[in-house]
Amino acid sequence: MEQTDLGLWGVPLAILGGAIRVSTPFIFVSLGEAITERSGRINLGLEGVLVFGAMTAYAVAVLTGSPWLGVLAASASGACFGLFHGWICKFPKVNDIAIGIALMLLGSGLAFFFGKPFIQPSAPDLPAIPFGLWSNSSQVQAALNINILFLIGAALAVFLWWAFKNTRAGLIVRVVGDSSDAARAMGINPNTVRLLATAIGSALAAIGGAYLSLYYPGSWNEGISSGQGLMAVALVIFARWNPLGCFAAALLFGGAGALGPALQSVGVTQGYYLFYAAPYILTLLIMIATSSPGRALAGAPGVLSITK
Amino acid sequence: MTDRLMFSRRQILKTSAAGAVLGFAPSLLPVRSAFAAGATIGFIYVGPKDDYGYNQAHAEGAAVLKGMEGISIIEEENVPETVDVQKTMESMINLDGATMLFPTSFGYFDPHMLAMCEKFPEIRFRHCGGMWSEGKHPKNAGSYFGYIGQGQYLNGVAAGHATKTKKIGFVAAKPIPQVLLNINSFLLGARSVDPAITCQVIFTGEWSLAVKEAEATNALVDQGADVITCHVDSPKVVVETAAGRGTFICGYHANQSPLAPEKYLTGAEWNWANIYKMYVEKLVAGEELPNFTRGGLADGFVKMSPLGSGVSEAARAQFDGTLAEIMKGGFSVIKGPLNNNKGEVVATEGQAFVETAIELESMDYLVEGVVGSTS
Amino acid sequence: MTEIASGPVASTLGGPALAGALEWAARRAEGLVIPLAALIVGMALFSIFIMLLGKSPAQLFDLMWRGGFGSWFSVQNTLSRAAPLLLAALCVALPARLGLVVIGGEGAIVLGGVAAAAMAVLVQGAPALIGVILMGIAGAVAGGVWIGAVGALRHYRAVNETISSLLMAYIAIALMNHLVEGPLRDPASLNKPSTHPMDPAFVVGAVPGMDVHWGLVAGIIACVISWILIEKTRWGFAARIAGGNVRAAQVQGLAVGPLIVGFCALAGAFAGLAGMIEVAAVQGNANASLASGYGYTGILVAFLARHNPLAIIPVAILLGGIDASGGLLQRRMDLPDATVQVLQGMIFIVILFSETFYGRLRVFNPDLWKRPA
């Protein structure tokens, strides 16, 4: 009994484990949204895309037995939503934020509708790599059981950070995001770039959904998402459109989210609602501390409607 | 599923046929008029009716009524506990001609259902989980509930035999009487096997919050709990997460054993069909409907999932013995001497609260041995 | 469409009057015809969806009409559901005039409700009118401070209001749950943790002759006041300038800071009032049902109304109607609740898309109908 009792060490371990387990959907959605927003559009509908992606991934995994086919199908479905958003927002006077909110309804409505037959069956999980085998503590092993999607997300964050600065595609996205006229002057069609950026962003968000349904918590039902998609979109602003910042914000959010259950499990049982609000309080405090009127929105894409 | 589709087709045919005859107002015509001596009965759910948990258990109970002669069932899901549920009830009465309603979520009772009871004195309302009391509440209202704490006690017996760490875990939504009774019953069941067992509880604060339920399960396992149960609306996430971590599981609301056949010990399930059939049979026969209905395993309101392969012979024997004891009626889970986990006495030596004791329905404590707090 | 709209006018009048009338109609018709046409297209798209499921679109429309608008009961059902959306939408529409995207109205609603319920317990036994007014003030102040803080953070610390309002909504809900299940809990509330019930004298009842509570009237009045504020006062004018360009507004000597904080606080006060009405007219105490999503639906209402406070009224009624008829669709057609969400998504996307046609269709160009001079 003594060996299995971690005591207070359970809290930091839970935060570490939680950061890894819970953050992945935030990583994918916020990286996807960062690409979209860098191109000058905001897609607030990623919550709907994420839920639809979760359902698609689960359904395909149940039907084919392959979780990876599920992830593939989810990203394809996400790309479709993204293409739709990107196409409809190219028309003058169509508001991208509002279309996003409507897309949120449509995406989750369709997901709930088509997901009915898949609530009861079990789908195969995505594989994880056991990085904790060196430890003989089962808790450490569990915390360091890291899903491949998390690693892909981390690599993607680094890659995007590098690509925005050093590749032609990254430059094009940034130019389009800063000024449509400058882009046109360079012979770039801003609408095409934004269409692709929204499609790629949505495809990534749908992969975040696939992680929810196929790994953690690894289940499909209508309550699978508790607003991760919406929150992750907000985190992009917090991260100032920097992919590495998105990754860090997602980790912070996941780790702080694990605080509530972990504290209760070691006997800090009162006021748990306030502990559950830790990710939100922490994010808000950091934002207040790091913002100042002078360098208001360094890194903000110039044409983004939400920062005007 | 087929039943439901058949039903809907019949319903559509009926409505459109009536429409063809009467012209403009077919849908306003109560569905009931299609039957000589039938009734339309409305069910209202707070969540999706296929949540593999609380709401599905009610919907399955309602589905059994669909086969009854002359009875039409109308259902609405995802109805929030706001003015929406009042309007849903009114709409079922005004537009569908419902004469009996079952609002199945606790939060529907006061003030929503009570307001409707006053407005529609001829309509009968029976509510799941509320505390109807003579003189205080209208005659056309009523409430029913099952002693599912008995089921959690039996879960505890199975868990008490299965645990090696002597620590079991409970993922709970909110610290309300129905949940507290389940937590206490689970621990006391386990303590009937070994008084050294403790139970760790984590409240998630919401009825359905998948990621937090998974985190809570992980936190419990990290602290050494090796049998987990829960009281949330959809236990699927807890069951799968716990099984993934290699612990045993006791189910809740419905039978989740297909999700983890090797790890699933047993589960406390609702059996609402019996209650709903009882009400409707009385309604059709024109008998008086009871206002306050309660029952447990013996009454068939609650049932246990079949014991899983992880249950030992000794556990099976004690489980069967306890079950037989409960089936006799008058069983007390809470009996003295018993303290709460703050050291205050909740039952003195010789004092016992039988299953029907009304005090149990306003429980506000966790018993000694439960690690957790009610606020 | 325009011909139909101006048909009767044309037949009763003639000559120059006709041309004048057509010109007038063309000017006005655009704002009516485009959204209506969009509504019809959205419904048509949804009927295709319904037909693919093997159900009858005719029955669908019949039920939607009956459930939402077809009888006096249905109209009241619709209005009851629309009532909280009016105030919730103002919480988005007012800051939007300054170019701010505030999406955390839910937090102000929830805290407004808790504050009102706490006030009701505090002033128990006071004369009914005073009790209700104090509750209203408590709700409005709580909501106003919450969203006002979002505005202040935006202006004085440059914290983005979209994310801060969303974060603060989650914090507000946690705070509400903590208070309702902890310090403010009525021990008798058993399985639905709530604050102590308020004095029955403070109940905000129904509008005479209707089964809809006074919250509807309060919401409509708030919309009208907001419209006047934005369109007819110098504050509204200043807000529009600041919304276009903060720097330009400052150059003109406008006090942008107080303007932003003031508009946000007013927006939050309206949302807080919505929470107070939920407590005083529906729940009778504060509990977790205060967070039932009105704040988020309000975002959609505000955007559909293009942040015009008067347009919020019909849009909220449309949403209330869809909501009211959604139940009937579930019951009669055996459709899951999700289909109503799909319907909403489709209709709203088409309506939002239709905005691209404003000013681009020749029939609505008044010059087309002018008589050659």
pLDDT in tens, B252-299: 999 999 999 999 999 999 999 999 999 999 998 889 999 999 999 999
E-assigned strands of chain B? 39-44, 71-76, 100-103, 124-125, 127-128, 143-146, 167-172, 198-203, 227-231, 248-253, 264-270, 292-295, 302-304, 332-335, 338-339, 345-347, 352-354, 370-371
Question: A120-124, C27-31, C261-265: which has the highest mean pLDDT?
Answer: C261-265
**B114-126 pLDDT tens trace:** 999 999 999 999 9
Decide if A222 and B48 are in contact by the 8 Å CB cutoff.
Answer: yes
Chain B residues lying within 8 Å of A1, measured CB to CB:
165-167, 224
Comparing alpha-carbon positions, the chain B residue that sits nearest to A11 is B219
- pLDDT greater than 80 at residue C356: yes
Confidence of residue A6 (pLDDT cuts 50, 70, 90): low
The residue-averaged pLDDT of C305-318 equals: 95
Residue ending a domain, among B141, B174, B189, is: B141
Torsion, Cα of A146, A150, A152, A157 (10° steps): -140
A7-128+136-307 CATH pick, 3.30.200, 1.10.287, 1.10.3470, 1.20.120 = 1.10.3470
For B178, the enclosing helix (H) or strand (E) is helix B177-191
Of B110, B141, B172, the residue that ends a domain is B141
**DSSP one-letter code for B166:** S
Residue B24, in any domain of the structure: no
d(CA A211, CA A195): 25
**Per-residue CA distances from A98 to A61, A237, C283 (Å):** 33, 18, 31
CATH 1.10.3470 segments of chain C: 76-334
Chains touching A (3+ CB pairs < 8 Å): B, C
Q: Which of B218, B237, B262 to mutate to test the interface with A (most CBs of A within 10 A)?
A: B218
List the Cα angle B97/B98/B99 in 5-degree steps: 115
Per-residue tokens: B169: 């875990």
Same domain, B155 and B258: yes
What is the nearest CA distance from A181 to chain B, expressed in angstroms?
Answer: 44
Is C292's CB within 8 Å of B111's CB? no
What range does the domain containing B41 cover? 30-141
**Low-confidence spans in chain B with pLDDT less than 70:** 1-37
Q: Are B221 and B243 in contact (CB under 8 A)?
A: no
The overall average pLDDT reported for chain C is 90
Q: A305 pLDDT exceeds 80? A: no
Q: How far is A153 from chain B (nearest CA, A)?
A: 19
Query: Would an 8 Å CB–CB cutoff place A142 in contact with chain C?
Result: no
B93 with B43, same domain? yes
Is there a single domain that holds both residue B211 and residue B73? no
Please say whether the beta carbons of C309 and C86 come within 8 A: no
Residue in B97, B3, B40 with CA at minimum distance from that of residue B284: B40
**pLDDT for res C372:** 56
Interface test with B, best of C59, C179, C180, C192 (most B CBs within 10 A): C192
Nearest CA of chain A to the CA of B30: how many Å? 28
Do residues B99 and B205 share a domain?
A: no
As a whole number of angstroms, the distance between CA C114 and CA C117 comes to 5
Per-residue pLDDT, A291:
84
Domain-located, residue B95: yes
User: Residue B123: what pLDDT?
Assistant: 95
Specify the CATH class of C76-334 in words.
Answer: mainly alpha
- Do residues B336 and B211 share a domain? yes
In a domain, B120, yes or no: yes
Question: What is the number of structural domains in chain B?
Answer: 2
Residue C4 above 60 pLDDT? no
Q: List the CATH number of the domain containing B69.
A: 3.40.50.2300
Any domain includes B294 = no
Pick from A24, A50, A216, A269 the residue to mutate for testing the B interface (most B CBs within 10 Å).
Answer: A269
pLDDT range class, residue A297, cuts 50, 70, 90: low
Contact C311, C93 (CB under 8 A): no
CB distance C100 to C161 below 8 Å:
yes
**DSSP H helical ranges for B44-176:** 54-65, 83-96, 114-119, 148-162
Kindly state the tokens that stand for C326.
């959604």
- State the sign of the Cα–Cα–Cα–Cα dihedral C123, C129, C135, C141: negative
Question: Among the three residues B88, B120, B141, which one is the final residue of a domain in this structure?
Answer: B141
CB atoms within 10 A of CB A255: 24
Report the distance separating Cα C92 and Cα C99, nearest Å: 10
Whether the per-residue pLDDT at C95 is higher than 80: the answer is yes
Chain C environment of B49 (Cβ under 8 Å):
336
Nearest alpha carbon to residue B125 among B147, B93, B103, B158? B103
A10 interaction partners in chain B (CB closer than 8 Å): 219, 222-223
Chain B residue with CA closest to C53: the answer is B5
Q: State both tokens at B164.
A: 């090696």
Shortest distance, CA B284 to any CA of chain C (angstroms):
22
Instruction: Tell me what pLDDT residue B265 has.
Output: 97
Sheet of strand B227-231: strand arrangement:
B302-304, B264-270, B248-253, B227-231, B167-172, B198-203, B370-371
Count of CA atoms in the C-beta half-sphere (13 A) of A301: 32
The secondary element (H helix, E strand) that includes residue A146 is: strand A145-147
Give the global pTM. 0.90
Whether B92 is covered by a domain: the verdict is yes
pLDDT over 80 (residue C349): yes
pLDDT of residue A294: 64
- Residues B229, B213 within the same domain: yes
In a domain, B367, yes or no: yes
Q: CA–CA separation, A282 vs A274, rounded Å?
A: 12
Q: Does B55 fall in a domain?
A: yes
Is the Cβ pair C278, B364 closer than 8 Å?
no
Indicate whether B262 and B361 sit together in one domain.
Answer: yes
Q: Quick check: B75 and C331 CB within 8 A?
A: yes
Instruction: Report whether B303 contacts B187 (CB < 8 A).
Output: no
Asked if B91 and B172 sit in the same domain, the reply is no
Q: Is residue B107 part of a domain?
A: yes
C83 to chain B: nearest residue by CA?
A: B83
Residues in chain C closer than 8 A to A102 (CB atoms): 300, 344-345, 348-349, 352
